[in-house]
Structure 1
Amino acid sequence: MTNSRSSSGQDVRLTAGEAEVTVDPANGCRISSLRIAGTELLRQGDHYGCFPMVPWCGRIAEGRFRDGAVEHQMPLNAAPHAIHGTGRDTAWHTARATGTEASFFYDLAKPWPYEGRVTQSVELTEDALTLRLGVETYGDSFPAQVGWHPWFRRHLDEKEGPRESGALLEFAPAWQEERGADHLPTGRRIDPLPGPWDDCFGVPGGLAATVTWPGAMELKLTSRAEWVVVYDEQEAAVCVEPQSGPPNGLNTAPALVTPIEPLELAATFTWRRLA
């Protein structure tokens, strides 16, 4: 069963076997629900689910970034910084929707200073969800980042227990970006510290992370993204965020979108029931 939409705000629902995914194009094209055999894996609410971060990821220092000699100012929606891009606050359009896959887009607009198009595709099978993001331009080149911000529920049952009885995260970063008092990377790479985290890690060769809910579910998240932010300071959720660059990356490690080279990234979530 699929509900497709143009720009009317209607959700798109995909199903494959025991897996069900709901996409909310009107609310930043976020995955608002991922249910396996009736069990919801994502934290619910208008600000949660799994949303695309575009055209930047994480924080921009004081909302300012440079493109050559030109400085641009983004709104300070996480004062004193700008955070997570404009895509999550934008109504997207549905280009295509079938029973198991859908694609969406929106055109970049102010406050982002450049013209371009952002696309996201969603493909569901019985044991995997694959997301793809792209940014393209037919005009001026510009720096950009893409990524996703999934909010995995710490506990899958209705009763919230202690942290140690909830979701367990396993991944093997090569380094951790030292975090300054302003929550931005200092530029110094350090050995990974124990959590809880609101931190960026380097994963050369791509991300491979596993979230396990003991006795219930195992989910693997893979991506060629070589940066990941882990945010697990809240009791309700664990966030594992594949990104094309680090926080403040528009200033420190920008990827350039050009008329002949779009910025593209994919991430795949696979799962298996443990009970």
Structure 2
Amino acid sequence: MNNTHPVATPRKVGKARKTGRRHPLASVALIAIGLLFTGAGYAALSTSTATASIDVASQQTISEGEKLFAANCATCHGLALEGSEEAPSLLGVGAASVDFQVGTGRMPLQAHGPQAAKKPVQFTEAQTAAMAAYVASLSPGPAIPTGEVIDGQGDAANGAELFRINCAMCHNVAGAGGALTEGKYAPAIKNVSGEHIYEAMITGPQSMPVFNDMNVSAEGKRDIITYLKYIENNPSPGGFALGSLGPVAEGLFIWIFGLGALVALTVWITAKSN
């Protein structure tokens, strides 16, 4: 009697079936991507809405500026911009002057002195634009500059020449500032926006003269801004700038450290010879 045993047929090993389950971090990644796109869209919408809301020609903006001016400026400058014993008239200064003075924090004035110093800004851009629109609505004057004249993409070499001729005697050739008479001073032109530099040239704040297009053309002003931005973004190629204050600081450095080193070397050589 033959005992036969069935031969086991080998099973074919197939590919493992997909379970259909996602990676645990997949949900987190999807939420993060959704939040990123939502935040970007909200930021773009907010920016466009804020820009559209500041219409300097609208009566709503001018009315808002009038309220801000009455509450913060009219005590000294007068409700009709006529000025007083405490402050000059603002008739004819234009929106550019308001944007410069308020946008750099010089106004409202913190304390009486030889000149208004730059300090932290107290108003938002929208509020500053509203006050500028109100002042401009009562009397025409220089407008706030926009476009390529303040982009800093002009001719830096020509700007350097114009700056040396018209500005360096007060602001220093490197824009480091300098002292004037009666406690006044020319401020350093570092970390100042192209818009505010242009506004200063066309409005002449403090002791600064007005540079209209007859003195320095709009393209020349653009070149000056380009030069100032160039020296601001490029370190001194000669080493220590010493504040960029010129030969006085350099001479003092040589006098103290240079001559001091020579005296110390002389003493050391004399001591060694003895």
TM-score norm. by structure 1 comes to: 0.22
TM-score norm. by structure 2 comes to: 0.22
Give the structure with the larger strand fraction. 1
Tell me: higher relative CO, structure 1 or 2? Use CA pairs within 8 A at least 6 residues apart.
1
Give the structure with the larger helix fraction. 2
- Which structure is larger by alpha-carbon Rg, 1 or 2? 2
